[in-house]
Structure 1
C-alpha cells in the first residue's frame, strides 16, 4: 500500500497515545433533562482531547461517525494547536492561523487530522461506518490517510454531493458545484448500507404489457459490455429474426442454455412482434423493498448549502443571531442516518459546527420513534450559544411566525425537459408522495424559466419541538496518573476508573456496572477489574487503601472462574502468596504501572 508522507508525521504518528485522559464535566444548567453521560452529549473543548475523554465510555461502541472538518481552502482561518512536543511543531504554532500563503498548510492539515482519525477509529464499532465531507483541497490526502488508518480494504466508496442548485457566475474557470463524502467501514465484511426508500416515480417504470400473472415488470439489458465466453452465440427470436453473435454482434451476459430456460418460464420479453432483442424481466414483486444507494447525490434529494443557511436563519431569526457560515443541510445528514444503522444507533460528530447532526438525529427519532443518540464535539466559543442553543430550540420548539419553506426541486425548463414532460411530472409526483406528509402543502411554480417545487409549512407562533434530552459537558483537568498519590490531581472515582479500565482492557467501561462502594469497575470476557480508590489524599495514604489478603479473597470469591485485576495505591499481600493460595488476583500499583501502559 502506498504511504502518505507529510512533514511532521513522525511526531504525530502516535500522538493520540500521549494525549491525557480528561474527565467529562457536566453542566446541568446548559443541558435538557437529567445528566446522563450515556445519553445525548454536547462537549465543548478541543476535539482531540474530547475524543480521548470519550474512549473510556465509548471505545468500540459508536455506530456511525460523520465529520465535516476544515476543508483547508486557505480562507478558513483555522489554527493548528495540538500540543506536540517537537521543535518543528512548536514553530508552526507561531504561524497561526493557517492561510492560503502558508506553504505547509497541507502538511499541517494532515498533522491535525492524523491523531483524530486514529481516535475516531478506536471509537467506531466493528460494524460501524465513517463518513467525512471534503472538497478538492484535501480529498486525495484524506484518502491516503484513511487507507492507512482504516485499511485500504475497508474503503467503501466516494459519494459526490451536488451541493449547489445554480452555477456561480463570478468564478474564473468552473463553478465548483460538488463536494465529496468519503465512506469507510471499520470492517467492510460487517457493515452494509441500508436500502433507500423507493419512490413512486421509480416504481412507474414497471409495466405489464403482456399481462404476466406475476404482475408488473421492467425489461433488463441482456447485452454484455465485455467478452463473456458463454455469451458468444447467435439468437433466433420467436418471430423469426436472427440476431448474430460476435463478431459483429453483441456478447450476451448469460449462457444460451440459461436464456432459453428463462424463455420457457416466461421471463424474456421479445417485443410485441417477437423480434426484439431479448430482455429479461425484472418483476416489481421480486425486487427488494428499497433501492441500492448510488454515489451521486443531487441537492434535490439531500439538500444544498442555501437550504442549510435558511434553516439556521429560521431558528435564530428573531434575535438576529450570528449565523454559522458553512452549515450542512439536514437532509444530507438524514440520508447518512438512513443508510448507516438502526433506530438505536450512536452517532458521533467531532466537528459539530452548527449542530446539524444532532438536529437530524432528533428528527429521525421523532419520525419513527427510534432511540438514536448523538455525541457532538465543538471547540469554538459558539458551542453553547449556537451549537447547543440550536439543539435546545429544536427540542423545546422556538418562536417563529410565518411559512417555513424547503426547496425540494429546481429544474430548468428547456426543450429537452418539455419533450420529457411525463418524466418531469412523475418526478414531481414522487416528491409529493415522499415528502407530502412533512408539509402543509407542496407548492409548484415556474419562475424565470425554472420549475421550483417547495415544501411549505405554516407556523402561527411557534415551531413545534422534537423532544429529547442532552447533557452539556466541558473537559476537566487531565487525569495524570503519576500525580494522583502526590495529591496534585485527585480525579473523581468514575473518571479515574473509566480511564484505567479502558487502558487495561481496551474496552469501554459501562457506567451501570460500577459499584464505587465496593471498589468494583466492571468485567471483560476474561477478567474483572477493581479500583481501590477515593479522591481523598489522607485516605489514599492510609492502610484502608491497600489490597489485603482478605480483600483479595473477597474479590476472587465473587467469581472464582475469572481473573481479577486490582488497582490500588499499596498492598499488604505479595503476588507470590496469592499464587500459592490459588487466588486469581493480580495487583497493579497506582499510578506507575498504568502510567507506563498509557505511554507505551
Structure 2
C-alpha cells in the first residue's frame, strides 16, 4: 500500500496516546433539558482533547462521523496548536496562522489530522462510517491518511458534491464548483442503506412471524471471520445462549445486538431456537428512489448559498459564519449511512449544521438519533450552541419567501411559440399576483423561471429536543494522583481506568461508587478503591485487603476475574492465588500509567 510521508509524521504517529484524559464538565444553564453525558452534547474545547475525553463513554459506539476540517486553502488562517514533544513541531507554533506562503502547510495539515483521525477511528463502531468534506487542496492527502488509519479496503466512495449552484469569478479561468465528500467504513460490518428495490427483490420479502411492521428480508448476523470482541453469547427465543459458529463472529457489536433483540429485529426461525439468527430488514424502512450515485448536484444535497441563506434566517438576517454546510447535505448522509437510533459525531462543528440535520431527521421519522458536536473556537457557545437552541425552540424569521410558479426550457420550439409563453406568464401574474409582493421572471441556464416573492416575518416552529453544553476539565494525569496535584471525581477516574483496561466504553449506569464497583466485561469484573481526598488515599482505608478481596469475589457470580485498582494493598497476590480468590491487584497510578503509554 502506498504510504503518505509528511514532515513530522514520526512525532505525531502516537501523539494521541500522550494526550491526557480530561473529564467533561457540564454547564446546565447553557443547554436545554436535563444535563446528561449520554444524550446530545456540544463540547467546547480543542477537538483532540475532546475526542480523548469522549473515549471512556463512546469508544466503539459512534455510528456516523461527519467532519468538515480546514480545507487548507491558505486563506483560512487556521493554526497548528498541538503540544507535541518535538523541537521542530514546537517551532511551528511560532509560525501561526498558516497562510498560503507557508511551504509546510500541507505537512502541518497532515500532522494536525493524523492524531484526530486515530481517535475518531477508536470512537467509531465496527458497523459505522466516517464522512469528510474536502476540496482539491487536501483531498488526495486526506484519502492517503484514511487509507493508512482505516485501511484502503474500507474506502467506500468519493462523492462529488456540487457545492456552488452558480460559478464565481476565478483568475485561473476555471471556476471550482464542487467539493469532495470522502466516505470510509470502519469494517465490512457496515452496509449502506440502498435506495432502490426491483420488483423481483421486493418479492423476496416475507412476514413469517406476522410482524406489525410488515414484510422483511433476513440478513445474516454472522461473519466468516473470528473477532474476539464480537465473539459472545446471546439468548435465542427459546432461552438458550448461542455463540457464533467456530471461526466466525457476530456482525454487530453487543450494544447494537441488544437493541435489535429489544426491538424484535432478530429472527430465530419458526421454533425460536435456530443456530443462525437473521436480522430483519423491513421493506417499510427501505427508501424509495434512485440508487445512490457519486455525483450529488446541489438540487439533491444543497449548496453553500442555501446554507448561508438558512443561517441568516436563523440569526435574524446576520451571517455569523462564513462557510456553513447545508442541512440537506448531512440529511443525505443520514439517509445513506445510519439507522433511526444512530449516534452522530462532528468534531469540527462550526455553525452546528450536523445537530440541525439530526434534530430534523428525528422530527420527520420519529427517530432517536443523538449528536455530539465539538468546537474549539470561542463562538462555540454564542454561535454553535445558539443555533441549536433556536432550532430546538423555534426562531423569528424575517426575509423573502420564494415560491416557484413556472419553469420552462427555452428550446427552439418555445421560441417559435413565444407569444404563447408570454400569455402563460401573464396568466400566472393575473392568477397569483395578489398572493405575492412581486412576480420575478428570469432566464437562467437555458430556462425561464417565474417566482413569486413575498416578504414575511414569522416564527419558525421548533424541532424539539435537548442538549448538554460541556467544557473540558483538568487533565486526569494518573501519575500525579497520589501527590494530590490531580484528584478527579470517582466517575471521571473510573471511566478512564475502565476504558484503558478493557478498550471498551464505560457505562456509568453500571457503576456503584459506594461498593467500589465500576462494571464488567465478558471476562472481568472491575473495581476501584478511590476517593478524591488526599488524606484518605494515603490511609489504610484505600488499600486492598484480604477481607476486601473476598468481599469483591463473593459479591458477583463466579466465572470471571476481578481486577481491582487501588493505591495500595495489604495482601499479596500469592496469598490470593493460594486461597483461590480470583482477584488481581493493579496499583494506582503507576501500572495504569504504563498501560496508557503502551
Range into which the TM-score falls when normalised by the shorter chain: 0.7 to 0.9
Go from structure 1 to structure 2 and tell me whether the alpha carbon gap of 1:455 and 1:473 turns closer, same or farther (over 3 Å shift).
farther
SS of the counterpart of 2:56?
helix
The residue that corresponds to 1:586 in the other structure is 584
State the Cα distance separating 1:169 from its structure 2 match: 3.3
Question: Do the aligned partners of residues 454 and 114 (structure 1) sit closer, same or farther apart at CA in structure 2, a change above 3 Å counting?
Answer: farther
Determine if the alignment matches structure 1 residue 448 to structure 2 residue 467. no
Q: For the Cα contact (< 8 Å) 2:441–2:451, is it kept in 1?
A: no
SS in 1 for 2:175: coil
Q: Is contact 1:62–1:123 with CA below 8 Å preserved after alignment?
A: yes
State the alpha-carbon separation in 2 of the partners of residues 454 and 566 from structure 1. Answer: 70
The change in CA–CA distance for 1:455 and 1:330 in structure 2 (over 3 A counts) is farther
| Superposed displacement of residue 447, structure 1 | 1.3
Tell me the CA shift for residue 197 of structure 1: 7.3
1:544 aligns with 2:541: yes
Q: How does 1:561-572 map to 2 (within 5 A)?
A: 561-572=559-570
Quote the residue 1:144 is aligned against: 144
- How far apart in 2 are the matches of 1:48 and 1:416? 59
Q: CA RMSD in A?
A: 2.6
CA contact (8 A) 1:43 1:474 kept: yes
- Relative to structure 1, the CA distance from residue 459 to residue 196 in structure 2 (aligned partners, 3 Å threshold; closer, same or farther) is farther
Going from structure 1 to structure 2, the CA distance change for 1:146 and 1:454 (only over 3 Å counts) comes to farther
Aligned to 1:415: 411
2:132 is equivalent to residue 132 of structure 1: yes
Residue 33 of structure 1 corresponds to: 33
Residue from 555, 571, 589 that aligns with 2:552: 555
Q: Distance in 2 between matches of 1:417 and 1:127?
A: 53
What TM-score results when the alignment is normalised by the length of structure 2?
Answer: 0.78
Distance 1:519 1:453 in 2: 70
User: Using the alignment, how far apart are the partners of 1:412 and 1:562 within structure 2?
Assistant: 72
Say whether 1:574 aligns with 2:572: yes
Partner residue, 2:391: 394
Task: Give structure 1 stretches of 5+ with no counterpart.
Answer: 199-286, 420-439
Equivalent residues in 2 for 1:143-542, closer than 5 Å: 143-187=143-187, 189-196=188-195, 289-317=288-316, 320=318, 323-401=320-398, 404=401, 413-415=409-411, 446-449=441-444, 450-452=447-449, 461-542=458-539
- 445 and 599 in structure 1: CA distance in 2 versus 1, 3 angstrom threshold: same
Determine if contact 1:307/1:406 at 8 Å carries over to the other structure.
no
- Structure 1 CA distance, aligned partners of 2:451 and 2:587? 65
Gaps of 5+ in 2: 198-285, 416-434
Cα distance 1:460–1:76, how it changes in 2: closer, same or farther (>3 A)?
closer
570-579 or 410-419, larger mean C-alpha shift: 410-419
Q: Does the CA-based 8 Å contact 1:305-1:326 persist in structure 2? A: yes
Corresponding residue number in structure 2 for 1:42: 42
Task: State the secondary structure of the residue aligned to 2:305.
Answer: helix
How far has the Cα of 1:414 moved from its partner? 4.5
Given that 1:444 and 1:451 are in contact with CA atoms closer than 8 Å, whether structure 2 keeps it comes out as no
Query: Whole-Å Cα distance in 2 between the matches of residues 346 and 592 of structure 1?
Result: 34
2:45–2:376 Cα contact (<8 Å) kept: yes
Q: Quote the Cα distance in structure 2 between the aligned partners of 1:385 and 1:474.
A: 14
Cα distance in structure 1, aligned partners of 2:474 and 2:537: 20
**8 Å Cα contact 2:196-2:291 kept in structure 1:** no
Alignment of 1:60-75 (within 5 A): 60-75=60-75
Offset of 1:37 from its aligned partner?
A: 0.3
Preserved CA contact (<8 Å) 1:300 1:410: no
Check conservation: 1:133, 1:181, Cα contact below 8 A: yes
| Cα deviation digits, residues 115-134 of structure 1 (max 9, x gap) | 00000000000000000000
CA shift in 2, pair 1:122/1:575, >3 Å:
same
1:444–1:452 contact (8 Å) kept in structure 2? no
Contact 1:560 1:584 (C-alpha < 8 Å) held by counterparts: no
How far apart in 2 are the matches of 1:167 and 1:145?
Answer: 30
Q: CA deviation at 1:471?
A: 0.4
Secondary structure of the corresponding residue to residue 111 of structure 2: helix
Q: Which runs of 4+ in 1 moved over 4 A?
A: 287-290, 401-407, 409-412, 416-419, 443-446, 451-460
Structure 1 residues 109 and 414: alpha-carbon distance in aligned structure 2, compared to 1, 3 A threshold:
farther
Q: Tell me the distance in 2 between the aligned counterparts of 1:66 and 1:491.
A: 31
SS at match of 1:101: coil
- What is aligned with 2:15? 15
Structure 1 CA distance for aligned equivalents of residues 353 and 412 of structure 2: 37
- Provide the secondary structure at the position in 1 that maps to 2:354: helix
Q: Which secondary structure does the structure 2 equivalent of 1:461 belong to?
A: strand
Flag the structure with larger Rg: 1
**How many aligned residue pairs are there?**
488
- Comparing 178-187 with 455-464, which one deviates more in the overlay? 455-464
Residues 546 and 462 (structure 1 numbering): CA distance in 2 closer, same or farther, change over 3 Å?
Answer: same
* Deviation at residue 524 of structure 1 after TM alignment: 1.0
